[in-house]
């Protein structure tokens, strides 16, 4: 396995290459995609061939239209069904009523106190700066070579769905050089706050176990997890994965056998031992 990813991704061709490499190496079944928040609705709507919702949706559905169908979709607060979706990306909500979470009392949490703790635990983009959000396949970002910057020049974050096995391999790639321990949260329902909410807020790699709403309305499969992080994190991970591959550590993981003498297998990756 080899990677040929540039140090800094700028052109559309480079984004398309990065997306293709990620899909190939991790055997992804859904399209990697990017998210970007816009202060101006007009700038969002200026994107060529952008789709605008004709019905009320959850943000999970908007994400699925990109990850499963390859659409470029722009939304405002008015396109999203409730403040739970709006609040995570800073497009609305975040008032006293939202933080109380009363609508979830007796549905997801036993008491109003429990709901309030859940709402306070969510990672959300502060409200007030942004008025629109665009979700587009990663391969559609970047500028044409030699052209002026476009609204899709660079996503705030990139995201992809993968199986737990593919996800830990990606994380191993992230940790190859400049090791860092990752501590991720599980907020429970509304776990989009653990993925795109946290990554948009902190610009840090953010892994989540998608929740009921993401699976019911966003078509997320039972064995899929979601990673969100800046684009340069994907470049770093692929470089690390290339190094792991040279050490015989590859994905999909080849099964060795639960009753085999393990020494021959381990000698491939640990020759010095």
How many angstroms separate the CA atoms of 212 and 186, rounded?
A: 13
Could you tell me whether strands 206-208 and 225-229 are parallel, antiparallel, or unpaired per DSSP bridges?
Answer: antiparallel
- Helical segments of the chain, H only: 12-26, 41-45, 59-67, 83-88, 96-100, 112-121, 164-174, 196-202, 212-217, 231-246, 263-269
How many angstroms separate the CA atoms of 98 and 190, rounded?
A: 13
pLDDT in tens, 42-86: 999 999 999 999 999 999 999 999 999 999 999 999 999 999 999
pLDDT in tens, 100-114: 999 999 999 999 999
Which of 166, 216, 165 shows the shortest CA–CA distance to 190?
216
Question: From the CB of residue 186, how many other CB atoms can be counted at a distance below 10 Å?
Answer: 11
Residue 170 or 147, more confident: 170
Cβ-Cβ contacts under 8 Å for 89 (sequence gap 6 or more): 35, 37, 59, 124, 125, 130, 133, 196, 197, 200
pLDDT value of residue 46: 95
- Residue 168 near residue 50 (C-beta atoms within 8 A): no
pLDDT value of residue 160: 98
pLDDT value of residue 8: 83
pLDDT value of residue 76: 98
- Give the residue extent of every domain in the chain: 12-249
pLDDT in tens, 140-150: 999 876 666 78
pLDDT value of residue 3: 45
pLDDT in tens, 213-258: 999 999 999 999 999 999 999 999 999 999 999 998 999 998 888 9
pLDDT value of residue 7: 60
pLDDT > 80? residue 6: no
Give, in degrees to the nearest 5, the angle at Cα 113 between 107 and 116: 80
CA dihedral 229, 231, 237, 240 (to 10 degrees): -150
Alpha carbon 57 to chain centroid, angstroms = 19
Copy the structure tokens of residue 266.
Answer: 């381990």
pLDDT in tens, 115-149: 999 999 999 999 999 999 999 999 999 987 666 67
φ/ψ bin of 198: left (φ > 0), alpha (ψ from -120 to 50), beta (otherwise): alpha
pLDDT value of residue 26: 98
- Dihedral sign, Cα of residue 261, residue 262, residue 263, residue 264: positive
Sheet holding 206-208, edge to edge: 73-75, 132-137, 33-38, 157-162, 225-229, 206-208
pLDDT value of residue 146: 61
pLDDT > 60? residue 2: no
Phi, psi dihedrals of residue 103, rounded to the nearest 5°: -65, -20
**What is the overall mean pLDDT for the chain?**
94
pLDDT value of residue 96: 96
pLDDT > 70? residue 177: yes
Cβ-Cβ contacts under 8 Å for 33 (sequence gap 6 or more): 63, 66, 67, 135, 136, 137, 138, 158, 159, 160
Q: How confident is the model at residue 5 (pLDDT cuts 50, 70, 90)?
A: very low
pLDDT value of residue 271: 84
């Amino acid at each position: 396995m080899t990677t040929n990813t540039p140090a800094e991704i700028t052109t559309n061709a480079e984004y398309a290459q990065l997306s293709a490499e990620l899909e190939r190496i991790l055997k992804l079944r859904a399209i990697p995609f990017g998210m970007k928040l816009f202060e101006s609705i007009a700038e969002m709507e200026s994107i060529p061939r952008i789709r605008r919702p004709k019905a009320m949706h959850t943000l999970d559905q908007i994400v699925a239209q990109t990850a499963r169908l390859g659409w470029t979709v722009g939304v405002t607060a008015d396109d999203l069904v409730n403040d739970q979706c709006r609040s995570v990306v800073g497009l609305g909500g975040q008032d006293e009523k939202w933080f109380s979470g009363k609508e979830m009392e007796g549905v997801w949490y036993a008491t109003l106190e429990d709901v309030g703790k859940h709402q306070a635990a969510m990672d959300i983009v502060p409200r007030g700066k942004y008025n629109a959000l665009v979700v587009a396949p990663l391969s559609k970002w970047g500028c044409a070579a030699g052209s002026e910057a476009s609204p899709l020049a660079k996503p705030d974050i990139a995201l992809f769905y993968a199986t737990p096995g593919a996800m830990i391999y990606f994380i191993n790639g992230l940790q190859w050089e400049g090791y860092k321990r990752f501590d991720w949260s599980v907020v429970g329902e509304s776990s989009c706050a653990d993925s795109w909410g946290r990554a948009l807020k902190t610009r840090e790699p953010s892994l989540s176990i998608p929740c009921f709403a993401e699976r019911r309305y966003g078509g997320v499969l039972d064995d899929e997890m979601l990673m969100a992080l800046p684009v340069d994190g994907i470049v770093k991970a692929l470089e690390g994965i290339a190094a792991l591959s040279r050490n015989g550590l590859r994905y999909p993981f080849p099964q060795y056998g639960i009753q085999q003498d393990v020494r021959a297998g381990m000698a491939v990756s640990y020759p010095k031992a």
